[in-house]
Chains A and B, each alone.
Chain A
């Protein structure tokens, strides 16, 4: 490659700005201006997150007893919600990394928001590790830091693996998200003024859109995709081992890793839909997020719904086929015991309702998509509730079975986690381009060249 021609630096900066494209305008418009409705939502989210934070602070002061724990059920809504958010965090990386590697075109309109959701979901999930433990103020013990006392952590513990899985995944997600953002931040930089300009300038890392930069960028994304791809599969596998490595009937199953990964992708996609449908409508992004994307997302939901449904079936089949009485009993009570409602919510939301997507028009019918994806979110939260709570409440010694019911503080913190997540997402909408402009442009150019055929 020959060096660029010698040219004074002032010449470079004085290059005429390229004409603003429609794509730029449409997408960056999301970031401009704020309506009272937006501020209302932000206020709601911030207040909600703070209320939950207050409850948490009280919990740290008073003790975990303000939750609904009972003797055999030592894990409750916090772990349920933790697993739920880790699951949500799967869509982003899946869409960005795996679908990138597979060159699935339809990912382009949704990957940015999905990546953002990943980062925020991991952040939300990570809160629950602290919320859940009995001595939050000692939770740094779980990190293998050198200390004079010669204390070390237990690498045999799935919770240890969890710590590493989540922190690795969080790191990769943030890096991935940021690298993908750089070209778009540069566009925002070019259009903004004042303090925002300063921040975007810093964040854009001097992006000029030169071919060398583009080349490095594409390489980075490709390599990061390669790195992130196994993580998509491993993170929720590791989370599933929190359960599968135990001897609790209902947890101790080899199917858990693929089962959890499928469930995570399922819930992640559902969350992307639940979030993006209102965004698309409010910010009039119909031209970018099209039926084509929804069609593909719906198909994906259909596929993962069936995998999840198959896993449920397998669990029950093995519980019966193994002839292990505690296992069979745990599963019987899962479906017909005091938690039957949770179980049937889970089955209906995750396995029955998504079947509507067999009917092709449903896949592009936006209200249907929104409703179904919301049900899937509910169903997937209940899936984790069912797995964790019902299994713990029916273990080996029937004298100490018990029934767990969540308490108000736990539900406030659960609601607070949604506020926490929403707060980040709402701020994200105004801070960064919600659709990857560069990628959409690339696709548009590509399509123009190839006659726009899908």
Chain B
């Protein structure tokens, strides 16, 4: 053993330890593989952003698609885009999920003899379509939505080249009546474009322009700008809502005329009459305004209000928005025309309302769609090509489309993901997902917006245009000769050849001035302005309405849109029927009881949602649910494939059209019967009674204007606070404006709070942790205070409650969806929610709860009352956070930049922090939501910058700290501090009304400091002295319209 020395021993030990370690990990090797050929523009870890266009609705907002390692993970608005100016709605935010839908077709599939889908090759698939068309092209037909101008043109060329029977454009919620009305009033069959930014008075006749209007993001931004209390005189623009239920738009209005459904046109004419007599323009020839009294009686509103608002309209600077498609009655054209006439009278035409030239190419037509169904029934269609739409779902059952498909030899669907129409198709030739597609959109004449792919298609899919070109070429050489050469992409580049294509790609499109058409050619001869006739099956008017998140149901398979509750009712994952409290009492039902709605078509059964904010004679059911296909759209995700999620209200409607052939939704008077069944609604808000607590505050315009910063809010209160401020926070002076006025402005507010002890005022830029540090080391400043204290402001006067911030937050922060059953248990993971309160509330002790004890009754909503406070609630990043001291393992702690940081790895799940959080913004992973609930390939869409949380861990908002970190790295590389505006939180970035501000409170000049220094500012539940980093600005109560 003499030759075995210490070195040998160490070698041996080293080798055996190494071998043991190697053996230990041999069975599970994970390698980080670098790119073999590194794409030129991709740096792993850095985001690459592509400009594109949202294809979710005709508004065509510009997108900035953020991709990481070549995968699109988050959509932001394109700041250069004229429509949305960098903002997005909730549906657009969720649409990135289409790419990673578990229901995507992975290649072409055909239905075999047994009726099952089996994969086939593209060549076979194209050949099958070509063979079917070659035999009798006249019996072929194309049905679909809007694929964009170039793709639409190509479809038209394909139809003519192959000699197909025709092409029908079908949109469930098309503005056909508006187009027709515009033709009759202005002589131009186009959809007018509204600009609300300079209006003083906005009248919404049910356009729902803040939730599901013609261009929601754009109009919400204009609306917010028009009523900016700081910049506009007299508190900015006033909004009047005309309609029968307290919608999201109504909730943000100053006055609500609770008109009967369908009477908007008469009201508009009556208002036009009053305005015309009070300084407005004259009514067009041949149109006479109804008397105020008769209009008031027909619409069942106060004559005084018509008179008053009419006078206000007479002052000009007003704009009226026509009803949304879902509110179209059989007299929709007359209704729309009346609203356009009102615009004429108030002088909005040419300024707030501009009429672009009539669009070229095929336009949606419901009448043609119904005609197509008749043709199919009679065997006139042998091949039906369905693209960009889901008619089996969205057409009324009574129209018989699904039955008519039986008579069609070959039904071809181009659906990207499984839907009801694809389920009825014989052959599916899947299109790319929007993030993989080339294309374009025409938001309006003068603006062209490009859709560009952001990564290679995930599956073996093919663009609609390319498939059609392939089919045309396969039919025969003659047909091929009539079609363009090359691919769809080259067709697109050809169509854009008059522009700088590369510049268009980088900027997202070419945005010129809006073109206007001559509006003098109107002809109103044939319109009859009267209340529409409704079917007579009962005493309640069935009002279908589209919500901002679900619209017509095309996004129902995006789990975010199901998971995030309706901003008005807070119901998620289900349908509901809104009835008034009186109606509910009459029927003997309470929330969640199923009622049967019987109109002239099929009866539907819906859980009832009684509320104060709806007329007694109306039952309102949202569109968009009732899918039977789709992991999330149906109840498949709960293990119930083929079971409808909620109801499709279209099933209860007969296929009727308005005067111009557009789809009529508002056609039914229905009978309601209680069924005795009950289904607990997945409801995410307990009560709308804020019990006068400091949440969702308002201030009257008069108080704001009269008192400004200094006085009025409880005298002794203010002085005492100023003293405390001076003594205890000497360094507050460093922060300039916080010295005096600010201290008095917030906190006091209402007399209701007068009884509180005098609260210590504080500067949000200060931080309890810093003070503790200073107290611990009084003479040492070796621990340098951070230059940052991140803060957020939320302007409740701008917040409409649209919930796009919530969707953005979900997508950005990998927030898991918990599904319907867990939502019923109120275990949602939202880091940001929007509390919706009605008025100041009552401190009423006797509490009546509905069955299941999850919802109190009655709601505090009242007809005609719009004192609704939407209060977005995210982590307040308290300076003296109640959550921090109670965590036994320091999994939540205060970082030097004022954030309540979460260390997920350290959390053991005692949940004490959540109990002690007065804002209840902490969310707990009761299950392994992240992994079990996200079917493949959804995990590909996760944001790699954000940790994925597992079972048993607490989580919450952290002000998008990953974005702060990214900016910090850039700033560090450049040797500077983070600039103001360099970091935008996901919620802030998407907010259409710019209600959220974010930045460094330690910088006096930062936007967020300026916003926080406002006479309207207050802190949520300030009585608890948590010293939040979130400053709320009170909603301004502007009062009723003055005549």
Contacts and interface: CB of A to CB of B under 8 A. Distances in A.
A245 B920 CA distance: 17
Nearest to B950: A135
Interface string A236-277: 000000100111100000000000000000000000000000
Contact of A338 (B846, B853, B925): B853
Contact of A397 (B835, B890, B953): B835
A401 interface: yes
A127 to B, nearest CB: 15
A397 B919 contact: yes
Interface in A177-222: none
A63 B952 contact: yes
A336 B888 CA distance: 34
Nearest to A331: B845
Given A74-B924, A397-B920, A135 B693 contact: no
B686 A401 contact: yes
A408 B889 CA distance: 30
B908 A133 contact: yes
Contacts of A323: 755
A401 B687 contact: yes
B906 interface: yes
A398 B856 CA distance: 11
A402 B886 contact: no
Contacts of B849: 337-338, 403
Interface in A369-406: 392, 395-403
A399 B918 contact: no
A63 B927 contact: yes
B928 A63 contact: yes
A11 B97 CA distance: 90
Contact of A158 (B853, B886, B951): B886
A147 B828 CA distance: 35
B947 to A, nearest CB: 15
Contact of A336 (B845, B885, B1024): B845
Interface in B907-959: 907-912, 914-916, 918-920, 923-928, 951-954
A326 B695 CA distance: 13
B873 interface: yes
A157 interface: yes
A141 B845 CA distance: 43
Interface stretch (A105-113, A148-156, A294-302): A148-156
Interface stretch (B305-313, B531-539, B799-807, B819-827): B819-827
A63 B836 contact: no
A401 B684 CA distance: 10
Interface in A59-73: 62-65, 67-72
B843 interface: yes
Contact of B909 (A133, A154, A333): A133
A156 B873 CA distance: 27
Nearest to A162: B888
A68 B953 CA distance: 17
Interface in A333-357: 333, 336-338
Contacts of B845: 329, 332, 336
Given A154-B888, A159-B888, A403-B853, A142 B908 contact: yes
Contact of A153 (B691, B836, B890): B890
A134 B925 contact: yes
Interface residues of B, number: 63
Interface string B806-836: 0000000000000000100111100001011
B645 to A, nearest CB: 21
B913 to A, nearest CB: 9
A396 B685 CA distance: 14
Nearest to A158: B886
B689 interface: yes
A139 interface: yes
Contacts of B1021: 396-397
A401 to B, nearest CB: 4
B138 interface: no
Contacts of B122: none
Contacts of A62: 927
Nearest to B911: A74
A98 B915 CA distance: 35
A23 interface: no
A331 to B, nearest CB: 10
B907 A397 contact: no
Contacts of B853: 338, 403
Contacts of A245: 885-886
Contacts of A397: 693, 695, 835, 873, 918-920, 1021
Contacts of B925: 63, 134
A403 B854 CA distance: 6
B910 A132 contact: yes
A336 B836 CA distance: 25
Interface string A123-140: 000000000111110110
A136 B909 CA distance: 8
A71 B907 contact: no
Given A134-B952, A245-B886, A332-B845, 10 more contacts: A65-B827, A71-B923, A74-B914, A139-B908, A248-B916, A399-B695, A399-B836, A399-B871, A400-B685, A403-B853
11 contacts: A63-B928, A69-B924, A74-B911, A74-B914, A74-B924, A151-B906, A153-B889, A157-B887, A248-B915, A397-B693, A402-B686
Interface of A: 62-65, 67-72, 74-75, 132-136, 138-139, 141-142, 151-154, 156-160, 163, 242, 245-248, 323, 325-326, 329, 332-333, 336-338, 392, 395-403
